[in-house]
Amino acid sequence: MLIVPALVEQPTWGGKYIVKYKNWQDRQEYENKKIGQSYELYGQSTLLADNGKTTLLSELVSRNPKAVLGGKIYERFGRMPLLIKFTQALGNSFQLHIKPNVKHFHWQSKPESWYFFETGFISCGIRPNIDLGDYKKICLAIDQKMRGLGQQIVTQKINVSEARLISKKLVGEFNPWQFVNVGRVEKETTIDLSAGGIHHSWEENRKINPDGNIIYEVQLDVADVNSTIRSFDQGKINKDGSIRSLNIDDYFQFVDCDFKRNDFSRLAKKPRNNQIFNTPYYCLDKIVVNKKMTDYTDRSFVHLFVKNGAVDIITQNGKVSLTRGHSCFLPESVIKYQVLNLQTVPSILLKTYVCIGG
């Protein structure tokens, strides 16, 4: 079934890339809007059938969860476990997720991985031989300064523009980037953060990536409030003087400083063959279709996203036509399906599924 993507406006860090990629730039509802993310698959995805009727993925799952998700997947998660996002972002907070084997009364792990559609610029991992105590002191100092500036806005001692200029100067002087790896990520590169505990952020660099970081994200669907631990928010201040709440103590409790796991050259990898990443929680494959191919769901639902080209997805129950930037959902019970390329050059699809061992 065709998935109706849920586009999310992000006025401060979105753009036009996603809308143009989907060839929706002429749609009136997206005029003068900056789109930061498109939810390509999640528990409440809207599905469009051949007859034009829509249904929620959650409704299909509730009626026959094992046939939709796959028996072992439903037994393990009890719901659609994945969230797939197509993202245009910059200027993100320093953050991490706890490791999957860590138990905490509040924080939950959120394995996630990134596949860069365009060259990007990020901070990722702790630099070797840094003093974590100094790093924490700087994060605490910045947070205190931001709160002070926010209060001055509330009491009308300064305006927002003045506060943001002061913030930019202060953050530059404190320079928290001195403690983390910052680097360019080439197009078609992956960053696999599914093991957790590694600091990561999308950064800004208008020369390297004027559109921001264009990323296809696959992750377990866990709410940010329960999973995202932040130490630094780029000195951002809202118009009303409020600032984002950070979790600095928890960040430094759970950050992993093991050199091998923080080596930027190891974190940024080119995919091997056609498998973009393979984790215990999800897999992402790149499929190149020249004319026609047959594939199988193999005990897991399948999500297919057209990275380039146009295809028909054909099952025993019907056909879905997809163009670039659009996707479909195949229940596990489909078992077998065909992909028919509709153009003279190869089409490229991204196939996401849950890896079933044994």
Tokens of 145: 């300064």
Distances in whole angstroms, Cα of residue 188 to Cα of each of 126, 282, 298, 312: 23, 19, 26, 25
3-state SS string over 256-273? CCCHHHHCHHHHEECCEC
Helix (H, G, I), strand (E, B) or coil at 106: coil
C-beta separation of 109 from 102 below 8 A = yes
Decide whether 82-269 matches 278-353 in CATH topology: yes
pLDDT band at 254 (very low <50, low <70, confident <90, very high): very high
Least trusted range by pLDDT, from 82-96, 146-160, 269-283, 332-346: 269-283
- In this predicted structure, what is the pLDDT of residue 317? 84
State pLDDT tens for residues 99-153. 999 999 999 999 999 999 999 999 999 999 999 999 999 999 999 999 999 999 9
Q: How far apart are CA 126 and CA 356, in angstroms?
A: 33
pLDDT band at 50 (very low <50, low <70, confident <90, very high): confident
pLDDT at 358 > cutoff 70: no
- In this predicted structure, what is the pLDDT of residue 46? 95
DSSP designation for 221: -
Q: How far apart are CA 233 and CA 254, in angstroms?
A: 18
pTM attached to this predicted model: 0.94
Listed by start position, the domains of the chain span: 82-269, 278-353
DSSP annotation string for 284-346: EEEEEESSEEEEE-TTS-EEEEEEESEEEEEETTEEEEEETT-EEEE-GGG-EEEEEE-SSS-
Q: What's the whole-number average pLDDT of the chain?
A: 94
pLDDT at 326 > cutoff 60: yes
| Structural element, H or E, at residue 21 | helix 17-21
In the CATH scheme, what is the homologous superfamily, with its name and number, of domain 278-353? Jelly Rolls (2.60.120.10)
State pLDDT tens for residues 102-116. 999 999 999 999 999
CA dihedral (113, 117, 119, 122) in degrees, to 10, reads -20
CATH number for the domain running over 82-269: 2.60.120.10
